[in-house]
Chain A
Amino acid sequence: MDSDSLEIEVKEANFKTEVLDSKIPCLVDFWAEWCAPCKMLAPTLKTIAKEYSGKLKVCKINVDHSPGLASKYGIMSIPALFIFKEAKIQDSIVGAISKNQIASMLKPHIK
């Protein structure tokens, strides 16, 4: 991830502070280097992070670096997107989806 990126790299160590304790909703992306659809989704998430800056946190979890989190959330397909709000999963979806699909998924959870 580039240094000026608005996305946050999350691992087991900072998952609680970044995601569960977050004051704003989080869009969490489980991904891996070897997953082509994950790579396709990456620029869309970058745009989402920019457009929703201050209202939504975009967190990226590399399943190779954080297998514990992947197993805790029952990941069996990637990319997998989760919306977390007040430490609870609000919604989730599997596969590369378009920006509009992500926007409509976020709508009920963003002020």
Chain B
Amino acid sequence: MPTNLKDHLFDVVIIGGGPAGLSASVYTSRARLDTLLIEGASLVSQASLTDKIENYPGFPEGIGGLSLLEKLKAQSDYFGTKHIDDDVIGICHKTINQKNIFQVKTESSSFNCRSVIVASGAKFKELGIPGEERFCGKGVSYCATCDAAFFKEKNVFVIGGGDAALEEALFLTRFAANISIVHRRPTLRAAKILQERVFNNPKIKVLLNSVILEINGQSNVESIKIKDVATNKESDLACDGVFIFIGYKPNSGFLKDLVSLDESGYILTDESMKTNIEGIFACGDCRKKLLRQIVTACGDGAVAAFSVVAYIEAAKTH
């Protein structure tokens, strides 16, 4: 990285290299704002973990999550956004000559800017049950596209009943011998088309009204204990892997004490993606909103960029 980036005052720093941040950068760069996008070095976009995205408009045959992101990144580059890989640890807010200046601190550097777009996304939730942490990488996984290939002809459990859980279970059918989905409610939450595929797949079994209590084994996962919540009956079931997809938590820890968050840590914004701090905007999965999808993340990104452009123009003329 050229050292002059550190002394530079960017118009906008965008935090996050997922669909929301990249879309915002396309818009800010086209508006000729001096844009830096900080892609997480250790936090990966949820979209990149998805094998095939079928509900993003314009791709009737679907598109790989990673390849959609690569295209978006190329588009962002093309219009002039600067990209770096680093983990953001905090934002400092200063007022110089009655103008807002932000310093975005990363693990290895810091960057000055007039405005910030937070598009830091969300991360998978852990179950918090015995054995989960101990067997992480030893049969417990949060990424089927990364790890399914290590479970050829094995028996695995998928925990969760939403889109991600069902998509990952379907992906696992390419490798594993048997897949059982464990969901705590009487019905699955995922899109109906995914449910149809799951129920029609002979490799997949669905255990409803069931919760996982613990994960057991010697050096690797060997069994799980589940409980039927209707009968309270507990049973130990042999398996080689447990894939956990029970929802997400926002990557907003670096913002606490600065920006208003809801009780789960999602960033509160208005319709124009403004947070409670003038000059800080938020978009995508890290924001409190109704629907977290790539298409809504991209939409948020465009709105956030539009608001930033208006904000910077006003700040520069006054």
Contacts and interface: CB of A to CB of B under 8 A. Distances in A.
A75 B107 contact: no
Contacts of B137: 76-77, 80, 92-95
Contact of B85 (A38, A43, A63, A92): A43
A105 to B, nearest CB: 13
A10 interface: no
B108 A76 contact: no
A49 interface: no
Interface residues of B, number: 31
B141 A99 contact: no
A39 interface: yes
A77 B85 CA distance: 23
Interface string A48-66: 0000000000000001000
Interface string B139-151: 1110101110111
Contacts of A78: 146-147
A99 B108 contact: yes
B42 interface: yes
A99 B107 contact: yes
A47 B139 CA distance: 30
A77 to B, nearest CB: 4
B66 A75 contact: no
Contacts of B44: 36-37, 40, 96
Given A76-B138, A98-B42, A98-B107, A36 B150 contact: no
Nearest to A96: B42
A39 to B, nearest CB: 7
A28 interface: no
A76 B42 contact: no
B66 A97 contact: no
B190 interface: no
Contacts of B45: 36
A39 B87 contact: no
A36 B138 CA distance: 19
Closest 7 pairs (CB-CB, A-B): A94-B137, A36-B48, A77-B137, A98-B42, A35-B146, A76-B150, A96-B42
Contacts of B43: 40, 96
B80 interface: no
B42 A36 contact: no
A44 B143 CA distance: 20
B161 interface: no
Of A70, A96, A97, which is in contact with the most chain B CB atoms at under 10 Å from its CB? A96
Contacts of B66: 34, 36, 39
A74 interface: yes
B50 to A, nearest CB: 9
Contacts of A43: 41, 85
Contact of A40 (B41, B108, B145): B41
Contacts of A92: 137
Nearest to B46: A36
A101 interface: yes
Interface string B11-22: 000000000000
Of A36, A43, A93, which is in contact with the most chain B CB atoms at under 10 Å from its CB? A36
A5 interface: no
